[in-house]
């Protein structure tokens, strides 16, 4: 297999035709000074820069040679519990695991928490594939991380490094059930839906793509129906869209918000007591929801817990979760989309449109970033932002957009307002518009939906920060948290 073929498979962003700056991954999530020398003597950012992966001697592991790749089970655990790492190393050699916690940390973006001892790596068996479902559940456990009681809850990244310098990543979450002002829910179900591992031109499959026998990338009609969490993420090991959550985390921790953490699967499994929080925050692209997730979010709203949706195209597809072959719960994700017998998996086509929870719903893709146009500037959300009616915030409508659908029913509300109305052209040249929504439920809960991919990046991503969006988000969260 030639280098050119391998190169075009080394990024999930390429496979999913992601061209806007709000969906790509992995991002330089560590902004400190740690670097390493590649085989050509160049100083390379250590977080595995995909743009450099085509050069000789770089240290980004790939899905063809599998120099080092891994996944964890479970994906989230509490202090006092453990997380098991399943890792393959080719050729067999020693490796180590550096564990980082995402946060502001003086602008570095993450802080190293611990390093494993030197571990002995083995070549694990090839992934198993059946009807497009790819699984590595048969890999041996390589290392068990016992989470100390003193670790902070949060989003973590494990960096796997071989003795000869190849690197890959594994994200995981440390959670607990202590009360907090805000619960951040990381969208691991949507992350897995996009995961094409192994991105090797043969085996890998996601809910969007698969390969044919000639190594051509196939579309949604021939993609997987069921995918497994028992496998690494494609490319450098960080999920597509992971940066949305990290952008919010850095900003929120910088300004001292009281955050708890959990995964979407925690919400699905009933491990989240929403009454412990003033608000639930969904920080990034969160497209795939199970029925238990939706019921939990609706119950939270109806009992007075606010909901904050900081992206677009939320809760579009309905999914189910099932145990793995070994009986471990919630390791298989199924979404039939429009294929096969039974009802459509679109929430809006089973008489449960997402607008009934969010206040707006998915309208379409945005080919090129466009300005977000401020509406109802006298509202408290825009207070102290300096924004006036009709002001344009450059590039804030990007990736995908939501809007209000007049023929679709709204949730029960005591008040409701649209805070942006932004025109853009779709890929066919038709004029469409994006909207940002806020309503107050009869319980007193606020439900905010940004309606764009670009909201979280505007909080803390270099080159995309906008002070108006930062202030508007602070206005919203301060009201939810009842800050003075």
Instruction: Compute φ and ψ for 134, nearest 5 degrees.
Output: -105, 130
Q: How far is residue 416's CA from residue 339's CA, in Å, rounded to a whole number?
A: 37
Q: Are 59 and 76 in contact (CB under 8 A)?
A: no
> For residue 30, what pLDDT is reported?
61
Q: What is the mean pLDDT of residues 123-135?
A: 94
Query: Which residues, 6+ apart, have CB-to-CB distance to 102 below 8 Å?
Result: 29, 109, 110, 154, 155, 156, 157, 246, 249, 250
Radius of gyration over every alpha carbon of the chain, rounded to an integer in angstroms: 22
Domain-located, residue 459: yes
Show which of 209, 228, 247 is a domain's final residue: 228
Q: Which residues pair with 322 in a beta bridge?
A: 332
> For residue 213, what pLDDT is reported?
84
pLDDT higher than threshold 60 for residue 42 = no
b/e burial code for range 374-407 (CB count within 10 A of at least 16 → b) = bbebeeebbeebebeeebebebbbbbbbbbbbee
Length of the chain: 484
Q: How far is residue 6's CA from residue 2's CA, in Å, rounded to a whole number?
A: 7
Answer yes or no: do 217 and 308 share one domain: no
What's the mean per-residue pLDDT of the chain? 88
Domain-located, residue 248: no
Q: Is 442 helix (H, G, I), strand (E, B) or coil?
A: coil
Q: What is the mean pLDDT of residues 117-129?
A: 96
> For residue 343, what pLDDT is reported?
62
pLDDT higher than threshold 80 for residue 51 = no
Answer yes or no: do 25 and 163 share one domain: yes
Distances (CA, A) of 24 to 121, 158, 287: 30, 19, 16
Domain-located, residue 250: no
Domain count, the chain: 2
Confidence of residue 66 (pLDDT cuts 50, 70, 90): very high
Answer yes or no: do 283 and 190 share one domain: no
Higher local confidence (pLDDT), 20 or 323: 323
Answer yes or no: do 209 and 358 share one domain: no
Q: Minimal CA–CA distance to 315: which of 441, 218, 174, 411?
A: 411
| 154-162/167-174 β-pairing | antiparallel
Domain-located, residue 422: yes
Q: Are 122 and 69 in contact (CB under 8 A)?
A: no
> For residue 421, what pLDDT is reported?
98
Answer yes or no: do 220 and 280 share one domain: no
| Omega before residue 91 within 30° of 0, cis | yes
> For residue 27, what pLDDT is reported?
52
pLDDT higher than threshold 90 for residue 354 = yes
Which range, of 222-226, 293-297, 411-415, averages the lowest pLDDT?
222-226
Q: Give this prediction's pTM.
A: 0.91
pLDDT higher than threshold 60 for residue 14 = no
Show which of 228, 248, 264 is a domain's final residue: 228
Q: Where are the alpha helices (DSSP H) in 28-166?
A: none
> For residue 31, what pLDDT is reported?
63
For the beta carbon of residue 41, count every other beta carbon within 10 angstroms.
Answer: 7
pLDDT higher than threshold 50 for residue 53 = no
> For residue 314, what pLDDT is reported?
98
Q: Are 400 and 365 in contact (CB under 8 A)?
A: yes
pLDDT tens track for 135-171: 999 999 999 999 999 999 999 999 999 999 899 999 9
295: left (phi > 0), else alpha (psi -120 to 50), else beta?
Answer: alpha
Instruction: Compute φ and ψ for 470, nearest 5 degrees.
Output: -60, -45
Distances (CA, A) of 305 to 277, 442, 477: 7, 11, 12
> For residue 5, what pLDDT is reported?
38
Answer yes or no: do 46 and 181 share one domain: yes
Distances (CA, A) of 325 to 59, 87, 141, 163, 272: 34, 19, 16, 33, 25
Q: Are 434 and 452 in contact (CB under 8 A)?
A: yes
Q: What is the mean pLDDT of residues 348-372?
A: 95
pLDDT tens track for 269-303: 999 999 999 999 999 999 999 999 999 999 999 99
Domain-located, residue 101: yes
Show which of 200, 228, 256 is a domain's final residue: 228
pLDDT tens track for 455-469: 999 999 888 999 999
Answer yes or no: do 180 and 311 share one domain: no
Q: How far is residue 472's CA from residue 478's CA, in Å, rounded to a whole number?
A: 10
Q: Where are the alpha helices (DSSP H) in 363-466?
A: 457-460
Range of the domain at 372: 273-316+354-481
Answer yes or no: do 39 and 116 share one domain: yes
pLDDT higher than threshold 60 for residue 2 = no
Domain-located, residue 465: yes
């Amino acid at each position: 297999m030639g280098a050119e073929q391998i190169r075009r498979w080394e990024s999930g962003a390429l496979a999913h035709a992601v061209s806007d700056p709000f969906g790509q991954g992995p991002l330089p999530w560590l902004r400190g000074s740690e670097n390493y020398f590649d085989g050509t003597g160049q100083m390379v950012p250590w977080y595995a820069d995909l743009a450099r992966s085509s050069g000789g001697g770089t240290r980004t592991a790939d899905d063809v040679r599998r120099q080092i790749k891994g996944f964890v089970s479970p994906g989230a655990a509490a202090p006092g519990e453990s997380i098991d790492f399943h890792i393959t190393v080719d050729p067999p050699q020693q490796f180590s695991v550096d564990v980082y916690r995402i946060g502001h940390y003086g602008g570095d973006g993450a802080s190293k928490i611990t390093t494993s001892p030197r571990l002995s790596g083995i070549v694990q068996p090839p992934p198993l594939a059946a009807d497009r479902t790819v699984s590595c559940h048969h890999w041996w456990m390589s290392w068990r991380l016992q989470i100390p009681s003193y670790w902070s809850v949060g989003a973590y990244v494990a960096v796997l490094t071989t003795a000869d310098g190849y690197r890959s990543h594994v994200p995981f979450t440390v959670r607990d059930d202590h009360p907090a002002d805000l619960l951040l829910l990381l969208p691991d179900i949507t992350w897995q839906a996009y995961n094409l591992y192994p991105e090797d031109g043969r085996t890998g499959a996601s809910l969007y793509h698969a390969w044919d026998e000639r190594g051509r990338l196939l579309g949604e009609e021939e993609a997987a129906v069921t995918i497994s969490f028992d496998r690494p993420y494609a490319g450098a090991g960080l999920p597509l869209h992971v940066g949305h959550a990290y952008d919010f985390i850095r900003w929120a921790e910088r300004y001292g918000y009281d955050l708890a953490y959990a995964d979407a699967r925690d919400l699905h499994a009933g491990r989240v007591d929403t009454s412990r929080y003033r608000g639930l925050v969904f920080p990034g692209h969160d497209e795939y929801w199970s029925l238990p997730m939706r019921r939990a979010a609706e119950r939270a709203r109806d009992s007075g817990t606010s909901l904050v949706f900081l992206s677009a195209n939320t809760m579009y597809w309905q999914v189910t979760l099932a145990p793995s072959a070994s009986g471990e719960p919630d390791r298989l994700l199924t979404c039939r989309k429009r294929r096969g017998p039974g009802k459509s998996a679109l929430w809006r086509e089973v008489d449960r449109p997402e607008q009934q929870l969010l206040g707006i719903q998915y309208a379409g893709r945005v080919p090129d970033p466009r300005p977000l146009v401020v509406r109802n500037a006298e509202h408290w959300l825009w207070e102290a932002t300096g924004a006036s009616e009709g002001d344009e915030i450059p590039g804030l409508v990007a990736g995908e957009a939501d809007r209000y659908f007049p023929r679709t029913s709204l949730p029960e509300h005591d008040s409701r307002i649209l805070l942006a109305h932004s025109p853009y052209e779709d890929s066919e040249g038709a004029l469409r518009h994006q909207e940002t929504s806020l309503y107050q439920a009869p319980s007193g809960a606020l439900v905010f939906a940004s309606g764009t991919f670009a909201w979280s990046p505007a909080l803390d991503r270099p080159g995309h920060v906008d002070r108006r969006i930062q202030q508007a988000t602070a206005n919203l969260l301060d009201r939810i948290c009842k800050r003075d």
